[in-house]
Amino acid sequence: METTKTHVVHGGTLRYLKHDSATTGTPMTLSVFVPPGEGPFPVVIWLSGLTCTEDNFTTKAGAYRAAAEHGLIVVAPDTSPRGDGVADDPAYDLGQGAGFYLDATQAPWASHFRMESYVTGELIDLIDAQFPTTGARSILGHSMGGHGALTLALNHPELFQSVSAFAPISSPTRCPWGEKAFTAYLGSDDVAAWNRHDAARLIEAGAARGVYDDILIDQGDADSFLTDQLKPDLLKAAAEASGQKITIRMQPGYDHSYFFMTSFIDDHLAFHAARLKH
């Protein structure tokens, strides 16, 4: 991986990186924070939401003081493949910047939009090969990235010690963002196949039972997307139906912005650090 920028922050080192991805067939960008010390360190992977790049979390979340204190490597990849020849759409919720952390099966998306395989395969392998990791990792994200963190953790439990999310798209098979993206990326011939990428449906089916002792969700009650797109009540109902513990914290007055995330990111990193140290 090529380092494009380096900064020292809270005693650790933050790098912006770029590499040619064999999975997406495009250049991919990311940031990696390594805490002070020799390591090895466990890893936390952050997945961002619609329209974001690796830079949104890196500059706005205020995560690195807590990451340094807990001794965590923090990895923030871009949200989709990008570049000339990569399919796109004029809308903000489809195409570049809106990969939804799945592997597309439909043209023109299938050739590059393989974010599930990228995050759970190539990205993890690169980080473990080039940084002082323990091999243990957790995952969290926001909005579309919260959806991605939940579904990747539920579909690949062998890879992650814990999972949490800010304002996740809880059930994309039952909201306009998800219905639009899944129709484009996965097609409408087999709608049942969409369920593999729906956290509420996966939890209801027992995918988290016996794997994760708890799943932490923070949601602002002033979030403009709360009712139509995010629907945390579907996660709550799924947890009750399956007997899975999920801690859903409704935070009064908070919206969908990074002001919300920076207010509670320390709690999430502490949540993961406690589980990664086991």
Give 136's contacts (C-beta < 8 A, 6+ positions apart): 42, 43, 161, 276
Q: Of residues 143, 162, 170, 171, which has the active-site annotation?
A: 143
Active site residue 223: yes
- Half-sphere exposure for 40 (CA within 13 Å, toward CB): 15
Q: Of residues 78, 103, 218, 223, which has the active-site annotation?
A: 223
Q: What's the CA gap between 109 and 36, in Å, rounded?
A: 40
Active site residue 19: no
Q: Of residues 70, 142, 197, 256, which has the active-site annotation?
A: 256
The DSSP bridge pattern shows strands 133-142 and 215-220 to be unpaired
Phi, psi of 119 (to 5 degrees): -70, -45
Residues forming the active site: 143, 223, 256
